[in-house]
């Protein structure tokens, strides 16, 4: 069924802007020799790098960009047109218009946290494959709906946890999986120290919609008065906008790597407890996950880490040795005899580099295979992070049933499994 943009918007409005459309736009088949047509939703600082990685691939053609801010729409179009040497890139304020285009195969979603899951769900229902920046969900409930939607509509999905596709992290996980560390007993994931705020910034005059579409910027989040500092990036740590009181900013990377090292991609820890300097979780197999707080992402380090190896360090400890690595691309191991395991390490690549992760996504669009950070991997690493946030917010020990994704005999914790959506949006 071919659906025009006008029909798409008409049906969207008839549904009150809801996420649960009763129809789907089929995706066209992308064969290996064809270019993948790309649309970009949201053009913030991280998108500059991710889009650059996508434009560098010869089998990608970016045809449209979208942002609720006019200045960012202009910057995005300039970036794309300069790359191709033309003026062909279309711009949109409302991402639903971009999704209505039948000629777009895939989208890169680079918005703020609150839009990651809703935009991904709508993109899947519009027949698009999705590369989504992290954190990918605002709640446990969103993770379940997101994975189920991707499966139902047969979409390829890549979470922007690019360290899954970088050599030094691969090798560290390999040491844990092959028994070179002995029996693994403790996993360390560095996270930014949680903080949360519930206040409103002072109200300011709201810009005209074409300059800043404030209502669309808010999306599913509760309404509040406009302040320019929000759209400049000062939305972080505000509970309504931040996916996980800052913890998920690094946690979805580092906890994800610990999940991988523990062969726990299909589950999550059971018991969570917050203390002054860390959050501790325990897996069913007895392994401890320690989420160690860092106060300064680029300065100090937690005493749990032996070396400074860049941002987002992780450490895997066994009864015969340990391995530690981070975004510098370097690895430290103990005992020294393990250094022989690192001789064939792939060329060093910074942990923030999305190049190989983007390539994995594009290859999977053509093969229809699962990506490195597929919906199930994403769902369970985010589940662990959201459960840890619940323990921190409540200030006490909580127990998770990772199969049913509910907290055991804990009404307060279960209220934190989901967030209310502002009308007319629904999950």
Q: At 309, is the pLDDT very low, low, confident or very high (cuts 50, 70, 90)?
A: confident
Residue 131 gets the label, from left (phi > 0), alpha (psi -120 to 50) or beta, of: beta
Determine the Cα–Cα distance for residues 84 and 106; give it in Å rounded to an integer.
Answer: 19
Least confident of 27-31, 137-141, 407-411: 27-31
219 DSSP assignment: T
Cis, bond preceding 424 (omega within 30 deg of 0): yes
The confidence band for 15, taking pLDDT boundaries of 50, 70 and 90, is: very low
Whole-number Å distance between alpha carbons of 46 and 48 = 5
How many domains does the chain contain in total? 1
* Residue 404 included in any domain: no
More confident residue, 239 or 45: 239
Residue 400 lies inside a defined structural domain of this protein: no
What pLDDT does 301 receive?
Answer: 54
- Taking 90 as the threshold, does the pLDDT of residue 17 lie above it? no
Q: Which residues contact 356 (CB under 8 A, 6 or more apart)?
A: 162, 165, 166, 349
Query: Residue 417: inside a domain, yes or no?
Result: no
- Do the Cβ atoms of 268 and 402 come closer than 8 Å? yes
Whether the per-residue pLDDT at 9 is higher than 60: the answer is no
Write down the pLDDT at residue 300: 46
Q: For 57-105, how does the pLDDT look when each residue is reduced to its tens digit (9 = 90+)?
A: 999 999 999 999 999 999 999 999 999 999 999 999 999 999 999 999 9
* pLDDT the model gives residue 163: 97
Q: Is the pLDDT of residue 427 over 90?
A: no
The verdict on residue 183 lying in a domain is no
pLDDT > 70: percent of the chain = 89
Structural domain includes residue 70 = yes
- Is residue 19 pLDDT above 70, yes or no? no
pLDDT tens-digit readout, 331-356 = 999 999 999 888 766 556 788 899 99
Q: How many whole angstroms separate alpha carbon 24 and alpha carbon 127?
A: 7
Edge-to-edge strands of the sheet including 331-334? 331-334, 322-325, 314-318, 184-192, 288-294, 278-282, 271-274, 398-401, 406-407
Q: Which domain holds residue 142?
A: 5-163
0.85 exceeded by pTM = yes
- pLDDT at 3 exceeding the cut of 60: no
Residue 39: predicted pLDDT: 98
Q: Where on the phi/psi map is residue 217: left (φ > 0), alpha (ψ -120 to 50), or beta?
A: alpha
Give the model confidence (pLDDT) of 178-213 as tens digits: 999 999 999 999 999 999 999 999 999 999 999 999
CATH of the domain at 91: 3.40.50.720
Q: Pick 27 or 326 by higher pLDDT.
A: 326
Residue 411 falls within a domain, yes or no? no
* CB-CB contact of 147 with 154 (8 Å): no
Write down the mean pLDDT value for the chain. 91
Q: Which residue has the tokens 């809703």?
A: 118
pLDDT for position 294? 87
Judged against a pLDDT cut of 90, whether residue 26 lies above it is answered with no
Q: Is residue 177 part of a domain?
A: no
DSSP code string of 349-374: --TT--HHHHHHHHHHHHH-PPPTT-
419 occurs within a structural domain: no
Residue 172 has pLDDT above 60, yes or no: yes
């Amino acid at each position: 069924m071919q659906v025009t943009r006008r029909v798409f918007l008409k049906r969207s409005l008839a549904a009150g802007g809801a996420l649960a459309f009763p129809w789907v736009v089929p995706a066209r088949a992308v064969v290996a020799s064809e270019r993948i047509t790309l649309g970009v939703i949201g053009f913030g600082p991280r998108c500059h790098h991710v889009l650059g990685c996508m434009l560098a691939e010869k089998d990608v053609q970016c045809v449209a960009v979208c942002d609720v801010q006019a200045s960012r729409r202009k910057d995005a179009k300039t970036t794309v047109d300069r790359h191709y040497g033309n003026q062909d890139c279309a711009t949109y304020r409302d991402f639903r218009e971009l999704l209505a285009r039948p000629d777009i195969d895939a989208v890169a979603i680079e918005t703020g946290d609150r839009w990651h899951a809703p935009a991904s769900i709508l993109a899947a229902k519009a027949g698009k494959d999705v590369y989504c920046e992290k954190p990918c969900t605002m709640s446990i409930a969103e993770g379940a709906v997101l994975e189920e939607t991707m499966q139902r509509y047969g979409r390829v999905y890549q979470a922007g946890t690019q360290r899954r596709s970088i050599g030094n992290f691969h090798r560290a996980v390999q040491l844990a999986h092959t028994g070179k560390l002995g029996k693994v007993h403790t996993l360390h994931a560095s996270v930014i120290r949680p903080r949360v705020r519930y206040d409103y910034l002072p109200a300011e005059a709201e810009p005209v919609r074409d300059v800043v579409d404030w209502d669309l910027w808010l999306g599913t989040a509760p309404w509040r008065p406009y302040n320019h500092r929000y759209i400049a990036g000062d939305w972080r740590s505000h509970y309504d906008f931040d996916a996980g009181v800052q913890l998920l900013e690094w946690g979805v990377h580092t906890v994800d790597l610990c999940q991988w090292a523990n062969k726990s991609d299909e589950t999550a820890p059971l018991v969570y407890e917050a203390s002054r300097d860390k959050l501790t979780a325990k897996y069913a197999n007895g392994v401890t996950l320690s989420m160690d707080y860092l106060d300064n992402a680029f300065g100090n380090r937690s005493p749990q880490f032996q070396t400074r190896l860049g941002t987002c360090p992780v450490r895997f400890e066994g009864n015969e040795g340990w391995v530690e690595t981070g975004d510098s691309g370097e690895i430290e191991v103990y005992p020294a005899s393990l250094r022989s395991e690192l001789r064939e390490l792939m060329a060093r690549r910074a942990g923030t580099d999305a190049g190989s992760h983007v390539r994995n996504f594009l290859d999977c669009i053509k093969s229809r295979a699962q990506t490195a950070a597929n919906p199930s991997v994403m769902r369970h690493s985010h589940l662990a992070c959201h459960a840890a946030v619940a323990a921190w917010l409540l200030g006490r020990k909580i127990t998770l049933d990772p199969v049913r994704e509910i907290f055991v005999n804990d009404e307060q914790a279960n209220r934190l499994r989901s967030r209310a959506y502002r009308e007319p949006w629904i999950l």
